[in-house]
Each structure stands twice: as structure tokens, then as C-alpha cells.
Amino acid sequence: MLNNVPKILSPELLKVLCEMGHSDVIVLGDGNFPADRFAREGNCKLVRCDGHGVPELLDAILTMMPLDTYVEHPVHLMETAPQDKDLKIEVWDEYKEIIARHDARGEKAIGYYERFEFYEQAKKSYCIVQTGEGAIYANIAIQKGVIQ
């Protein structure tokens, strides 16, 4: 046991966060995200966090890990597909609030990838986390900053 570590972060996920270096990316995939396939195709790590939502994991991770300050957008979301452009993605509002609590740039730290570009970037990540998140378009990529 350790003090001040969010309980939602498993030992396996903590190990991954410790192993990551500056500019490494971790992807939190929603319940529909093909995390296992992309992790195998990209030869990156896979951590399962079934039963947990992305917002809770995002908040816990950002408690332990700063966002990269050397890039304009250290956070990327998956853009909605053209047929879903009018959907209100409520989980994004939660992400914006969480990011603002942990990074002074707030919403300005967030960029967007088209769906298939998000998939390609996920394959290049250090780790993909499969969550049980039920919200659609809840996938998020986070780039690690320098620990000071």
C-alpha cells in the first residue's frame, strides 16, 4: 500500500505510468474500443480496467502524471463521424473539467483526431487501457509531460 495513490489505479497501471517517459502516450479506450487488437497490431502494452469509467481513470492518472507542456495538444479525443456530428458528447464536458483541474491550459490542451487517425495513433501509444466506459466517443489519448 502507498499513501496518496488513487485506489482506482491498479498496480499494473501504476507500473505503466512509472515506465512511461516524457512524450509517451497512454490511450483510455471506451468499452467499444478495439483495444486488444490495436495493442497487438502496434506492439504496445494493454491494461484492462473493466468496470471503470474513463473520467474516473483520467482524473486519477492526471493526479499522478502531468500533461506534456512541449506540445499544443497533449490530449486528443476522437472526432465524431459525419453521421454523428450533431450528437452531444457529454463525457467530453467531464474531460474538459478534469483536465482544467490538472492543467492550466484547460480545454486548450485538447485536440481531435479523425476516427481512423485516432486508431493509428493508438497503435503508436505506449499503452492502451481498456475500460468499461459506456459513453460513445469516450476514447482519449494523453501525452505524458516532464515530472519536475
What's CA 46's distance to the chain center, in Å?
Answer: 13
C-alpha cell at 10: 491498479
- Catalytic residue positions, numbered: 22, 68, 119
Grid-cell match 485506489, residue found: 7
Q: Measured on CA atoms in the order 129, 131, 137, 138, is the torsion positive or negative?
A: negative
- In eight-state DSSP terms, residue 144 is B
Segment holding 41, helix H or strand E: helix 35-42
Q: Collapsing DSSP states into helix, strand and coil, what is residue 30? A: coil
- DSSP 8-state symbol, 77: E
